[in-house]
Amino acid sequence: MALTFAKIILTLRLQKNVRSPYIFFNLKNRFDSAFRRSIDCGRSSCSGCRNGEDCLYDRILSQSLAVDPAALKRYQKPSFPFVFHFPIIHPSSNRGTSFELEMVLIGPAAEHYRHFIEAFSAACVDFAVPVKAESVDYQGNRYLLMEHRGEMHQDHLFLFSAEEISRSRQVSECVLVRFITPLLLLRQGHPLHELSFSTFIRALFRRVSSLVYYYGGDEMDCDFKLLAERSCLVATLESNLAWAEWEDGPAAWRLGGIIGRVVFSGGLDSFYPFLLLGQYFNLGKSASFGHGQYLLD
């Protein structure tokens, strides 16, 4: 599993009072425009552009499909090579408060971390300013990447190995999964309001294997059919999962999905690599923009 990625913590300070707890989750369009400006792209879309692979946007964010028909059938459209983990803002007198958000930059996106930091900082310019950016390692140690003056330290970037993480698992008969932001999974176009282990892990199979293929240039050596069959044997011991609706004002941004805690038990050993990596990569609709984040407790 040749996939590598970086985990970067960006500290922002609010420049004014923010009422919406979910303001960071509604920045997708702003981020796209800001990223184009960061790489000196003056276009609003890639339609009709002749730069092709000479353009960093095309190489990193275009979500180009696999040319191999068999791979396209297995992995379909690639996800973005980044994931944001956003803080939830407490709506009070919060001007001057600092918040941390995480960026997970996958595969080739990691070496262009400067553009991601600049783009997200620009997307927040109406209400927040960047303070610093730090790279994180396996133990949680932090290394300064960007100072408050904007100076970058590229030699401080730490890369995680998906292979290393998959080997670091501590096997247990039970695992508690805590969904921090709403998880939206669809079945035949309809959102799921309940979650079995089999449904959860099969969605993780698809997400992790697709990221490994598109951004690690590799295919996972797994018998997914056998793993899917075994996943049906994992029991749910306890669950307080519930459907939640997050919205940013009437007729504005809205997100519905499953949040809460669930305990799974029995035969989990083969699934831990996916469970561990999913903590970095999120799951479900809009996973790249903070949705479907979970932690293992």
Structure confidence by residue, pLDDT tens digits, 88-111: 998 778 999 999 999 999 999 999
pLDDT attached to residue 148: 75
Class of domain 164-296: alpha beta
Contact 157, 113 (CB under 8 A): yes
Structure confidence by residue, pLDDT tens digits, 228-240: 999 999 999 999 9
Q: Where in the chain is the domain with CATH 3.30.70.1900?
A: 164-296
- What residue ranges of the chain have pLDDT lower than 50? none
pLDDT attached to residue 50: 64
Q: Closest Cα partner for 84 from 120, 123, 122, 129?
A: 120
pLDDT attached to residue 198: 97
Give the CA distances from residue 103 to residues 25, 46, 109, in Å, rounded to whole numbers and listed in that order.
13, 24, 11
pLDDT attached to residue 1: 66
Please tell me the distance from the alpha carbon of residue 148 to that of residue 10, in angstroms, as a whole number.
Answer: 11
pLDDT attached to residue 250: 53
Element holding 75 (H helix, E strand): helix 69-75
pLDDT attached to residue 52: 64
